[in-house]
């Protein structure tokens, strides 16, 4: 089960950056469904911001697994190598 967070950076005309984190409810669906929902959510937010001038919104969908938050291939490999040595 993945929890889905939508992180977006908002740049206004004064070039100040504010980061806000919008946590959506936990979704227990396939990655394709998660990506399509992320796209729909992004489009909805863009629609809401169309009327405002000189604002750029960049969306970063972040997928976090419940048990391991960061997948690090180097760390995983070294763990496997350590296990194989014993």
Report how far apart the first and last C-alpha atoms of the chain are (Å, whole number).
32
Task: Say how many domains are in the chain.
Answer: 1
Q: Residue 28's pLDDT is what?
A: 40
Q: Please enumerate in sequence order all residues whose Cβ is within 8 A of that of 42, keeping only pairs 6 or more positions apart, or say none.
A: 6, 59, 61
Q: Residue 81's pLDDT is what?
A: 59
* pLDDT band per the 50, 70, 90 thresholds, residue 85: low
pTM of the full predicted structure?
Answer: 0.15
Question: Of 24 and 61, which is predicted with more confidence?
Answer: 61
State pLDDT tens for residues 1-42: 444 444 444 444 444 443 444 443 343 444 445 555 555 555
> What residues make up the domain containing 50?
2-85
């Amino acid at each position: 089960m993945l929890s889905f967070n939508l992180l977006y950076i908002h740049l206004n005309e004064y070039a100040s950056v504010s980061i806000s984190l919008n946590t959506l409810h936990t979704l227990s669906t396939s990655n394709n469904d998660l990506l399509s929902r992320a796209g729909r959510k992004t489009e909805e937010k863009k629609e809401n911001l169309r009327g405002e001038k000189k604002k750029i919104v960049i969306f970063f969908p972040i997928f976090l697994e419940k048990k391991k938050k960061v997948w690090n291939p180097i760390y995983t490999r070294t763990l496997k190598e350590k296990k194989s040595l014993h």
